[in-house]
Amino acid sequence: MLFNTPQFFVFLLVTIGLFYVSPKRFRKWILLIASYVFYMSWNWRFTPLLLSLTVIDYVAAIWMERVESPSRRKLFLVASLAANLGFLGFFKYYNFLAGMLAEALRKDPHAFARSIVLPLGISFHTFQSISYVVDVYRGEQKAIRNPIDYALFIAFFPQLVAGPIVRAREFFADYYLWAPPISEETLRGVLWILLGLVKKMALADQFAQIADSYFQNLAAHPGAPAAWSGVVAFAMQIFFDFSGYTDMAIGMALLLGFHFPTNFRRPYLAFSITDFWHRWHISLSRWLRDYLYIPLGGNRHGSLMTYRNLMLTMLLGGLWHGASWNFVIWGGYHGALLGLERVFGRKHFQEPPNWVVYPFRVLITFLLVCIGWVFFRATTLHDSTYVIQQMFIWHGKAGLIPVWLTCMVAASLAIALLEEKMEWIERLAHGPAWGYVAAVVTLLFTVELIGVTEKAVPFVYFQF
Amino acid sequence: MRAASVLFASVIAFAAIEGAVFHTGLYPWILNPDASTGYVETILRNEIKRPKTGPQILGIGDSRMLLLPRLSNRHTAETGYTFGTIATAGASPRAWYYMLRDADPTSRRYRAIVIAVESYDDAERWNDENDNNEDLSYLIARLQLSDWWEFSRSYHDPDWQWKAARGIFLKGLVYKRDFQDLLLHPRSRLRYAKLNRRDAFSWNYNYDGPPDTLADFHVDWAAKTLIAPPNADPGLVQKLKFRLLDPLPAETGNESRYLTHWLGKIYEHYRSSPTRLIFLRLPRGGFVRPDQPRYNPHSSVRDLSMEPNVTLIDEHFFDSLEKPEFFRDEMHLNGPGMVPFSLMITQEVSRILGPPR
């Protein structure tokens, strides 16, 4: 069940309906059952995996809290981490490592390969579990005693498959002090869902066609105009796709009385790579900072160690996206850019420049991010280098993006700038009814007339 | 409470605007005349607004129903009848029903409807006509909310059932491509739509048909070989081979059920009206394969012909036209073939109906 299918909306409406008509004591059961139904609708065979990780982390956290000996606490932590990373490693990286081993032994690249299906959302729910267990270990979070509460935290369907990665304290603050959404929250929730649908169906899926046609047949589109338009199309696709999903997840959670953290804050308006990572996939950046970068030492041990930690964090962040050298290079590329920005003055890249310089800085940052996207999208290292070469060879025919899609991007940019300055979604929910109605009608017509509705295109981040 | 009322108002506003734009004649007014829906709308609009003096006869069928009303109407003084046609390339019997329903809502506008069919034996087809994906695009401007159940259920493929069901409610989903094309070239579209509204009738009415023929082609039935001239279009050669030499599809009864349903619907529309339904079997092609479909005494048209106001023109009436020099491709008459075809229809239909009362 994809978020952009009618089946999902029926499921959502039924779940919300049952949730609100049921007595309070049954509501968590309804959400948990709905979440497992949602998960099983993809592939029921992985249900034991989700269940066993839930049980392991639930038990490990309780035992960690019970025992006093630091070494035993650490033992439970290690056991839990081993289980989470073991499953993640097996499903996600086995074939990658097997390929490397085969290459090292000069054997057929597929000699040790296995046919492994990646369980849906495993990267997200394992990171969410790890953050919970580590928080309990650090004493920053009380172990959850009720297994249903904990199971719901892990499996909650709006964020199960592609985030945002929610901290236990954020989730349980809403959960234990649950209150029905007020009018403005309901309106905001619906608006987020529609905005997400527009981003996904009217923008991401349209750009996907251009990006796919370029990256699937590079030889047919030589030259810089085609290369840049293919890469920019992918930049647009991945942003609108992932932020569209997140917007829908945030909206659904709001309708159920939960408040998810912001995951995207108009990342293509970033004026530096440092700023970009404060705006792009914020819940992952935050996770990497708190559970990797800071434990590695952060910036506490001098410049060299800081650069090393930064690079390691970004390399692992890249690898988290997928088992391929391209993702590692993508992470390394961003790590290098972040390091360079530190070399040239951290303050300079963290504080917004004046309005004259700002557009140029935004453009340069966007172009740098686009170069990084080449490694993210191309299937091989050879293709990546080819595309980057093409981006700087000025020959070939015109670009691939039609005028009307350029206009759509221009409109999106205007809306993003308005949101940056005015927070219009908040204002619409609080403002006069006619403004809200006009916005909803516009969004619905955009989905109807511009959206790709012939087939439901899966979200890009579902593969991670 | 505020949220519920604002959300309700949003849904109502969306439905009202969608209804006003797409469920009325507003958007069809500016459709791209070359796209599926615009093409059918042009044909229907031309027919609906055509001045009708005296008894009228309307032809319907697919691209092979190449009746030229211009020629037929030269004989109006003798026959007493005026001919028109809403035959549409690619239109299926399901589309014919909905087109006739809108062209003749009272079932009394025409003295006769001349329906051109491929075979009187319900010859099987390779594709399931129930899942003809053009029908939804052809008919979307004509489909009403009350057609929702019957039309969407008439597809066999669940995917198409769903597309039809949602399309009838949210017509914008079906107009999507046309709308995006309008966004791309709004000025030229509006100009072309206007020009089409003004002149399309004369474009169609004065159509002569192409002069190309199959005269240089030969078929050796014994050797199962098509002999094509050296400069023949390879696409045409392939189509001819497929139509003439490939095995016929197996009989499943699907086509018969389909035709019985939709030709039956057309009959029901005219059941108690003075309009006569006249079926004709189209000339089969420039070359007629020896292995014709099996005679079916209870085919859809033969069963219908038992009804009082239904007539079948003799099955072999157009056999004299089945010559390579009268065809431009594997199944379409060329310009020189369209002339006798139209005149033969004019004379035969006038004979069947007798002088107008």
**Given the structure tokens 């604002």, which residue do they identify?**
B6
- The alpha-carbon gap from A434 to the nearest alpha carbon of chain B, in Å, equals 8
Q: A402 to chain B: nearest residue by CA?
A: B184
User: Can you give the residue ranges of every domain in chain B?
Assistant: 13-49+134-209, 53-124+212-357
Mutate to test the interface with B, among A449, A452, A455 (most CBs of B within 10 A): A449
Interface of B to A at Cβ within 8 Å reads 1-3, 5-7, 9-10, 13-14, 17-18, 162, 166, 170, 172-173, 175-176, 179-180, 183-184
**Alpha carbons within 13 A on the beta-carbon side of B220:** 7
The residue among A206, A265, A238 whose CA lies nearest residue A327 is: A238
Distance of CA A186 to the CA centre of its chain: 24
Closest Cβ–Cβ partner in A436, A448, A453 for B6: A436
Residue A163 has what pLDDT? 76
Closest Cβ–Cβ partner in A187, A403, A437 for B13: A437
- The alpha-carbon gap from B258 to the nearest alpha carbon of chain A, in Å, equals 26
Q: A403 to chain B: nearest residue by CA?
A: B184
Contact A449 B17 (CB under 8 A): no
Closest Cβ–Cβ partner in A404, A441, A448 for B13: A441
Distance (Å, rounded) from C-alpha A32 to C-alpha A37?
9
Contact A437 B172 (CB under 8 A): no
Q: Report whether the peptide linkage leading into residue A164 is cis, meaning its omega lies within 30 degrees of zero.
A: yes
Clarify whether A321 is annotated catalytic: yes
Closest Cβ–Cβ partner in A403, A441, A449 for B176: A449
Q: Sheet containing B82-85: which strands, arranged edge to edge? A: B82-85, B56-60, B112-117, B276-281, B310-312
H or E stretch covering A308: helix A302-321
Phi, psi of B310 (to 5 degrees): -120, 135
- What does the CA dihedral B47, B52, B55, B59 come to, rounded to 10 degrees? -10
Q: B21 to chain A: nearest residue by CA?
A: A445
Q: Which CATH superfamily is domain B53-124+212-357 in?
A: SGNH hydrolase (3.40.50.1110)
Mutate to test the interface with A, among B1, B2, B5, B6 (most CBs of A within 10 A): B6
Q: What is the pLDDT along chain A (464 residues), one digit of tens a residue?
A: 778 888 899 999 999 999 999 998 899 999 999 999 999 998 888 899 999 999 999 999 999 988 888 899 999 999 999 999 998 888 888 888 888 888 888 888 777 878 877 788 888 999 999 999 999 999 999 999 999 999 999 999 999 888 799 999 999 999 998 888 998 899 999 999 999 999 899 888 888 988 998 899 888 888 888 888 889 999 999 999 998 999 999 999 999 999 998 899 889 989 999 999 999 999 999 999 999 999 998 888 888 888 899 999 999 999 888 888 899 999 999 999 999 998 887 777 777 888 888 889 999 999 999 999 999 999 888 999 999 988 888 776 666 677 777 777 787 777 777 777 767 777 888 888 899 999 999 999 999 998 887 776 777 766 66
Instruction: Say how many Å lie between the first and final Cα of chain A, rounded.
Output: 17
Among A321, A334, A348, A382, the one annotated catalytic: A321
The residue among B37, B67, B69, B34 whose CA lies nearest residue B52 is: B69
Q: Within chain B, which residues score under 70 in pLDDT?
A: none
Residue B104 has what pLDDT? 94
Contact A183 B3 (CB under 8 A): yes
Phi, psi of A76 (to 5 degrees): -65, -40
A371's tokens: 């170069």
Task: Calculate Rg over the CA atoms of chain A.
Answer: 23
Q: B185 to chain A: nearest residue by CA?
A: A404
H-only helix segments in A344-451: 346-350, 358-377, 381-391, 403-422, 424-430, 433-450
| Largest CA-CA distance found in chain B, in angstroms, rounded | 81
Distance (Å, rounded) from C-alpha A115 to C-alpha B257?
46
Residues 6+ positions from A431 with CB-CB distance below 8 Å: none
